[in-house]
Structure 1
Amino acid sequence: MKYWLLLAGLFMLSHSNASVVGGSDSAFNYEGSRFEKGGFILHFTSNETTFSNAVKKRMVDAFFTVYPVLVRDFNNGAAKEVYFKVDTAYHGVAATGGGKVVYDPVWFVKHPGDIDVVTHEVMHIVQDYGRSVGPWWITEGIADYIRFKYGIDNEGAGWKLPEYSDRQKYSDGYRVTARFLAWIEARVKKGTVKALNTALRNHSYTADSWREVTGKPVDDLWLEYSKNPAL
């Protein structure tokens, strides 16, 4: 009898430890509103009652795939607790501030494959520039460069960087600036994006930062890029 009691006790102990070890890293209940894994927490709410469960699942998975890597690579001090809200009152694609991202549900009805909107937006949380002296186009250009490099399904969304055109300017922001940054990383100085990102977050960015990082002013870099823009 004591033998069986001992076995039963060991059985209960092993299962209790398994639940503790698995803890927040266990399989998600995607119908929930709070998700935790690896020290990161995501709160997901929606006031759109017909919002796709499949899209929600992909958004949650994208967050836990991409965000911890971006925090590791660009800002270890970034928020570990993030809030996503799908909001029928918001009309755009997405917007980010203070560790919170709001999404337009209509966008995902029209573009259900555009999951890397998540990648772009959570990079804004990692950037954490606050009242930065940097221009908007660098902020958005870096976020789209990150989408280009870290995105999990840009192809599925039909999203890509544009080919160079003489109508473009490096200050166009978003994908135009992102491609310019990708060219600099490939052809001029690897690590430029990380260095600019750090300068912006530390509020030490100036127009001279491009020269300090790459050895060349931004206008000279753009001129070289315009002559040979191949990545």
Structure 2
Amino acid sequence: MSKKIYKTLLVSCLLLAVLGVQAQRKNGWRDTETDVVSKDSITRGEYTLIFVNKSEGFSTALKERMIETFFKVYPEQAKIYNPNTAKKVTFIINPKYDGVAATAGTYVHYNPAWFDKHPGDIDVVTHEVMHIIQSYRGGEGWITEGIADYVRATMGVDNEGAGWSLPAFKPEHSYRNAYRVTARFFIWLEKNTKSGIIVKLDSAMRSKTYTDEFWKAETGKTVDELWDDYAKNPVI
């Protein structure tokens, strides 16, 4: 597959994901009353999680694990990346949502069918709640998803148990691939260029001050030059 075709497919997938979330929002993304099996409100410290289950037979053990994961990772993410993040978050177990999980605003929808097949993939929670921390108003999709997977890689509670890991570098990779490929590059940047650069990148995205000049200002090199350096020695 050519790089041009791959990039086109990636952009199309990201666009479909965004459109899917927008469509769900119009049809009740924030609906916590219809078809509800159970609804719980849990507060610990300054954070509250509303857990809405719309799926009969959803595992109680998994529900408890999702709750525990939220209260472990979300406050930690907030402390590092965005202390002003939302204090109230809603999880909805939604059998009508056919993706894996998606976040819009402070609402996260999870597909129970995914957890039926992958019950150990608890750090889907870690990835999704980072999107709440991010609260970006647009911007580069590869950065958004790259940071979310970077946070999953560095702050996840059980990636090993899920069989989730960052991929080995391949010559055909690009920093614009997003998700795990970009996350690996971000880890390399953090270790080899400037400690704290991902926190600064996240802040620039949230404040809408990010431009391509960010990389040169922080490291003295463009993102393409940094990727070239990474490709020559991608060890992390």
Q: TM-score range by the shorter chain?
A: 0.7 to 0.9
1:82 matches 2:89: yes
1:1-231 aligned within 5 A: 33-130=40-137, 132=138, 134-231=139-236
CA contact (8 A) 1:145 1:179 kept: yes
Matched residue of 1:96: which SS?
Answer: strand
The CA deviation at 1:63 is: 0.2
Q: SS at 1:42's partner residue?
A: strand
Question: How many pairs were matched up?
Answer: 199
Give TM-score, length-normalised by structure 1.
0.85
User: Residues 76-99 of structure 1, C-alpha deviation per residue, up to 9 Å, x if partnerless?
Assistant: 110000000000110011000110
| Residue type at the aligned position of 2:77 | L
Structure 1 alignment gaps of length 5 or more:
1-30
Amino acid at match of 1:212: A
Distance (Å, rounded) in 1 between the aligned partners of 2:169 and 2:208: 30
Measure, in 2, the Cα distance between the counterparts of 1:197 and 1:211.
16
The residue type paired with residue 90 of structure 1 is Y
In 1: Cα distance, 2:173 partner to 2:159 partner: 22
TM-score where L is the length of structure 2:
0.83
Residues 127, 201 of structure 1: 8 Å contact kept: yes
Contact 2:190–2:197 (8 Å) recurs in 1: yes
- The Cα RMSD (Å) is 0.9
Contact conserved, 1:140 with 1:174, CA < 8 A, in 2? yes
Q: Which amino acid aligns with 2:155?
A: Y
Partner of 1:7: none
Q: Partners in 2 of 1:47 and 1:81 — Cα distance?
A: 19
Q: Distance in 1 between matches of 2:217 and 2:203?
A: 13
In structure 2, distance between residues paired with 1:48 and 1:129? 30
Moved over 4 A (4+): none
Q: Is the 8 A contact 2:39 2:50 kept in 1?
A: no
User: 1:121 & 1:77 partners in 2: Cα distance?
Assistant: 17
Separation (CA, whole Å) in 1 of partners of 2:209 and 2:222: 16
Gaps of 5+ in 2: 1-37
Point out the structure with max Rg over C-alpha: 1
CA shift, 1:32, in A, is 6.0
